[in-house]
Amino acid sequence: MKKVYLETFGCQMNVSDSERVATSLAKNGFEITPVETEADVVLINTCSVREKAEQKLYTRVGEIRNSFEKKPLVGVLGCVAQLEGETLFDKIEGIDAIVGTKAVGRISHIIDRVLDGEDGIVDLGEREKEYDWTVSDPQRHSPFVAFVPIIEGCNKFCTYCIVPFSRGREVSLPASEIIRSILEMRRSGIKEVHLIGQNVNSYRPTTDSGLEGFHGKTPFSRLLRAVAATGVERVKFNTSFPRDFRSDIVDAINEHENLCNWVHLPVQSGSDRILRSMKRGHTVESYRRKIDYIRASPRDISITTDIIVGFPGETDADFDETMRLAEYAGYDQAYIFKYSPRPGTPAFDMADDVAPEVKTRRFRELETVQRRTQNRRLERYIGRVLDVLVERPATRHSEQVSGHSPCHKVVNFAGPREMIGQIVKVRISEIRSNSLFGTLDRTA
């Protein structure tokens, strides 16, 4: 039995892809190993969203080739594989197979071909019609939390983003299959599901099968209600696209306790001029109205976002508008990035005219404002009791365990490891830089 080591970079979609790759390999006679030096095959599932992804891949392949006594077969999967294709053979020595984002269902066959002596295999083809979206329990990243793809690809073509080119156009999975899968997960002990996609609220299935009887103006809001009806204890979703974010999504959260009170709504900029240059399709005013509606919810919904500083043409005035919007929105957390050109995107042809030192300064200024806002937002939890899904031992303290609240806050508290997998009540007593700390509450 050949051993396979699988390494994953990037977003939840990549993690989800890797889970299905591992499931497929295990079904076809391969053993998944957590120890890379034991592997006969090393698969690297790549992400192209961040800067220098290709260089990171080059470094990892070199490390693998130099750290093994017996050289393993090396396969490259994911977005870098899809975008670069067979050119990777010329750029990086030591790669045996290149597998695109929609070809992962054929991974076992591809590995067999390499093991049989075939050289230079590249598969960038479309996903097979009968692709198996299931994940077996041993291959999940968590026995209690599951990532459930509902839509893949992207039609938005924001000028800075490579995803439409690496993942293709939007394709929504049938609602009936999603519901069936979640029911099976619930029976197997999954307590929290994350509905995932590049833009989950752009969900548009070709048929309403599975959504009959559920109300809502948009298919996504009806899907949320249908998933809530499965009885799974927690439902989260990520990522939402502002242009397609409708009030009926918040209404669904208000109606169903198991739809968690967390929304990730990437704004990217607080300047209308820069938003037009990014081709985001929303304005600052329309975004503010969505924030206002979310804030009006009785559920106290946590809001997180993504922001890019230093996009081509961004002036100090544009950046000041972003600062004002960040203060207005009062994000619970913001992921801030300095713009870097990505080959293959429309923005790559724009002049990268914001100096590196200016990008750094803006990053730090926005980070300071956001840190102050984040701390203020976290303070509202002091003294409150939160339901926490215990997921793992705490990183820094052996006597503590760690998990997430429904509002997607990391919560650490003193407790035995036997609690892992349970949802328990924790009274919050302290805020930390990016998390909460509390004590097990046995009275609530």
Query: Average of pLDDT values for 394-413?
Result: 94
Q: Where are the beta strands (DSSP E) in 265-374?
A: 302-309, 333-338
Query: Average of pLDDT values for 96-107?
Result: 95
Question: What pLDDT, on a 0 to 100 scale, did the predictor assign at position 400?
Answer: 95
How far is residue 131 from each of residues 103, 105, 123, 173, 306, measured CA to CA in Å? 10, 6, 15, 11, 32
Question: What pLDDT, on a 0 to 100 scale, did the predictor assign at position 69?
Answer: 77
Question: What pLDDT, on a 0 to 100 scale, did the predictor assign at position 2?
Answer: 95
Question: Prior bond to 239 cis, omega within 30?
Answer: yes
Question: What pLDDT, on a 0 to 100 scale, did the predictor assign at position 358?
Answer: 98
What 8-state DSSP symbol labels residue 71? P
Residue 263 pLDDT exceeds 80? yes
Angle, in degrees to the nearest 10, between helices 12-27 and 107-115: 60
Residue 70 pLDDT exceeds 90? no
Residue 426 pLDDT exceeds 80? yes
Residue 78 pLDDT exceeds 70? yes
Give the C-alpha separation, 301 to 37, whole Å: 45
Q: How confident is the model at residue 384 (pLDDT cuts 50, 70, 90)?
A: very high
Rg (CA), the chain: 22
Give the C-alpha separation, 441 to 444, whole Å: 6
Query: Average of pLDDT values for 400-427?
Result: 96
Q: Which residues of 154-181 are buried (b: 16+ CB within 10 A; e: fewer)?
A: bebebbbbbbbbbbbebbbbbbbebbeb
Give the C-alpha separation, 304 to 285, whole Å: 18
Query: Average of pLDDT values for 241-263?
Result: 98
Question: What pLDDT, on a 0 to 100 scale, did the predictor assign at position 130?
Answer: 85
Residue 444 pLDDT exceeds 70? no
Regarding predicted confidence, which is higher, 36 or 273?
273
**Count of CB atoms situated within 10 Å of the CB of 430:** 13
What 8-state DSSP symbol labels residue 438? E
Question: What pLDDT, on a 0 to 100 scale, did the predictor assign at position 398?
Answer: 83
Q: How confident is the model at residue 157 (pLDDT cuts 50, 70, 90)?
A: very high
| Closest CA relative to residue 241, chosen from 299, 282, 289 | 282
Burial (Cβ within 10 Å: 0-12, 13-18, ≥19) of residue 444: exposed
Half-sphere exposure of 386 (CA within 13 A, CB side): 32
Residue 433 pLDDT exceeds 90? no
Give the C-alpha separation, 272 to 282, whole Å: 8
Contact 322, 279 (CB under 8 A): no
Query: Average of pLDDT values for 284-308?
Result: 98
Q: Where are the beta strands (DSSP E) in 36-96?
A: 41-46, 73-77
How far is residue 86 from each of residues 41, 72, 90, 101, measured CA to CA in Å? 19, 20, 8, 14
Express each pLDDT in 142-156 by its tens digit: 999 999 999 999 999
What 8-state DSSP symbol labels residue 242? G
Question: What pLDDT, on a 0 to 100 scale, did the predictor assign at position 56?
Answer: 84
Cα of first residue to Cα of last residue in the chain, in angstroms, is: 51
Query: Average of pLDDT values for 68-78?
Result: 89
Residue 68 pLDDT exceeds 90? no
Question: What pLDDT, on a 0 to 100 scale, did the predictor assign at position 365?
Answer: 98
Question: Taking all residues of the chain, what is their mean pLDDT, rounded to a whole number?
Answer: 94
Residue recorded with tokens 């990008």: 359
Domains in the chain: ranges and CATH: 3-123 (3.40.50.12160), 137-379 (3.80.30.20), 385-440 (2.40.50.140)
Residue 164 pLDDT exceeds 90? yes
